[in-house]
Amino acid sequence: MIGIIGAMEEEVAALKSEMADAKVTEFASMTFYKGTLCGKDVVVVRSGIGKVNAAICAQILVDKFGVDTLINTGIAGSLDARIDIGDMVISTDAVHHDMDATIFGDAIGQVPRMDTRTFPADPHLVELAVKANEKANPQIHTFTGRVASGDQFISSGEVKARIVENFQALCTEMEGAGIAHAAYLNKVSYVIIRAISDKADNSATMDYPEFEKQAIAHSVALVKELLPMI
């Protein structure tokens, strides 16, 4: 079973509308759509924004639906000058950029007493997602690398520079590491798929409304291309 998580309704509405025989249930104030999409058994859900919502959602998918593969689809801010608005980032791993226990000697981003600082994505899923994007969205560029997540919408050039320096991430958003963290603890596979909607700097307020729909369309097209390959 494949779980597909989007933070916002806009990120999952198109997927839900194309599902066959969807059965709707609710847990933790989240509505889960279980059915068939692109020939695969899936559960599609809007988690809500932020890492806590995303992690709770991922845990429910594992516990209540027996999901063994998690796909997080949505939008993100670019942290790399090579990655333009509309381009796609596929996670190789994810990290909490707002976790800071350095006073205790931990590295920035390290959750204390955990055996890893970053949460690796499934390499096979990453490979498939890259191929799917190249087919579904040939007009844009595909990048693989680290996703940095935190409960902040990044619109400051100073904060962006600090995240890049500390984590060498390609993009920043607000859910992926929560899902990756849950996947790691539950020993299930995951991949984060993020279309770039802004540059995570002072231009964010101008770029975001204009490019959000385009970015979401790219991520939805990728997911629909990816599912039959899994």
Helix (H, G, I), strand (E, B) or coil at 142: strand
- Confidence check: pLDDT of 50 > 90: yes
Query: How far is residue 21 CA from its own chain's centroid?
Result: 26
How far is 61 from 149, CA to CA, in rounded Å?
20
Strands (E), 7-109: 20-27, 30-37, 40-46, 69-78, 88-96
Question: Which two structure tokens, joined as six digits, stand for 143?
Answer: 């990048």
- Find the CATH number of the domain harbouring 145: 3.40.50.1580
Residue 130's domain spans which residues? 2-229
Average pLDDT over residues 126-130: 98
- Confidence check: pLDDT of 207 > 60: no
Average pLDDT over residues 109-135: 97
pTM of the model: 0.94
Average pLDDT over residues 196-209: 68
Question: Would you state the torsion angle of the CA atoms of residues 142, 147, 151, 153, taken in this order, to the nearest 10 degrees?
Answer: -40
- Confidence check: pLDDT of 156 > 60: yes
For residue 164, the tally of other CB atoms under 10 A from its CB is 17
Decide if 202 contacts 155 (C-beta within 8 A): yes
Structure confidence at residue 66 (pLDDT): 98
Decide if 200 contacts 154 (C-beta within 8 A): yes
Average pLDDT over residues 67-82: 95
- Confidence check: pLDDT of 47 > 70: yes
For the chain, the domain total comes to: 1
User: Residues 105-120: pLDDT tens digits?
Assistant: 999 999 999 999 999 9
Q: With pLDDT > 90 as the criterion, what percentage of the chain qualifies?
A: 83
- Show which residues are catalytic: 11, 198
Helix (H), strand (E) at residue 194: strand 189-198
Instruction: Please work out, in degrees rounded to the nearest 5, the angle formed at the alpha carbon of residue 196 by the alpha carbons of 191 and 200.
Output: 110
Candidate from 23-27, 31-35, 74-78 with smallest mean pLDDT: 74-78
- Confidence check: pLDDT of 206 > 60: no
